[in-house]
Structure 1
């Protein structure tokens, strides 16, 4: 069994509990490991179960590790502080057997491990379909936002990028050598195309999908 988690205290608690139940448990120090080293450890130890966190600090997003680990023959159980069920759906879609919030009682986590080791199911078809459906809806919503962002002109993207960076209309006007009225007109056009009513909402949409202006536009 392999534990991949950057929260040392949590990982040690799980390791101790599983060891007391007779499992051979190893931990991968996520904070000082690369994705390639994680996959090499999976290949070397050939664990039946991998307990994987999603937010792995310097190692990044654990979701991208699920598919290669599962293809290596391991049963991936996601243990996460995230309560985003659409994200859980992405985990299941990638090949995880189960996604469990870290707020669940320890006995419930251990129960899932036992069932997998006994060859028993840990998720029914209805729950699986619900989670993947939530992921699909989330993906469509994000694509809709990206489509709206694609409507912006190069200048509007530049202005939005500066708003995302925290700059005010006055600063944007001064750096662009245009009037504040001109920038406000550009901001109004941005809000209309993004179908929002405030600069804050526009910035929120951009951040939600990880949008950033083209690099050649430069910074303020």
Structure 2
């Protein structure tokens, strides 16, 4: 005698977002449309991105609406691949306009990336289509974003090559510049003359092919962020 099949688990929508007002707007909009939706709690103290990932996976969502910038928890992009592997349709909703970053999300398995500046009805339409098993991006849109990601990676690799030109001492000076320290402070802490530090800074600018310390620090920060 065949037993009664076990009911399928209710797989709804989860929201992973550290901006409470935006998350509440999403939750209310989707709830009014009849979706089983809940916000994933992000603890004010303790926990880590690994904690958030474990909680999200336990929720077993059909659709996950994910912000990229999760405050003290870091880059939400790290959640895309594990959620996608678990069968969730990940939709990234972000304030970032970096199309290279968007393309990276698509490569990790996100079904779509939506700007937070877009009306909520666009997110609702995306959720509806995913719930119906319909595509939410054309192959051309996917290809365009992935091309942006590739160009972004090429730019970062080129900047890494510039960093590799620095001597160990120049790297140390650059690191202090990234911390906001002045030439005078670097010279005092290193027990060298300010003229020596200025020469080292000039060498860094020359190797980076930039004209200001601000630009040099910005380049170094971009590489560091891409590596994190």
**Both proteins in one fold, TM over 0.5:** yes
The residue number in structure 2 matching 1:5 is 17
Unmatched 5+ residue regions in structure 2?
A: 1-12
**Is 1:111 aligned to 2:107, yes or no?**
no
Q: Does 1:76 align with 2:96?
A: no
Query: Structure 1: where are the runs of 5+ without partners?
Result: 212-220
Match of 1:198 in 2: 212
> Which of 61, 80, 92 is the matching residue for 1:47?
61
Give 2:116's aligned residue.
Answer: 102
| Whole-angstrom CA distance in 2 between matches of 1:52 and 1:146 | 30
Paired residues of 1:4 and 1:53 also in contact (CA < 8 A) = yes
Aligned pairs for 1:115-130 within 5 A: 115-130=129-144
2:10 is aligned to none
Counterparts of 2:193 and 2:68, CA distance in 1: 46
Please name the residue that 1:214 is paired with: none
The TM-score, its normalising length taken from structure 2, stands at 0.86
The aligned runs of 1:82-161 (5 Å cut-off) are: 82-161=96-175
Shift of 1:152: 0.8
Q: Tell me how far 1:31 sits from its aligned partner.
A: 4.3
CA distances 1:53-76 after superposition (whole Å, capped 9, x unpaired): 111112211000000000000000
For residues 65-100 of structure 1, the C-alpha deviation after alignment (integer angstroms, 9 at most, x for no partner) is 000000000000011111111111111010000000
| CA RMSD, Structure 1 to Structure 2 (Å) | 1.6
- Between the two proteins, the alignment pairs up a number of residues equal to 211
Aligned to 2:224: 210
Q: TM-score, normalised by structure 1?
A: 0.89
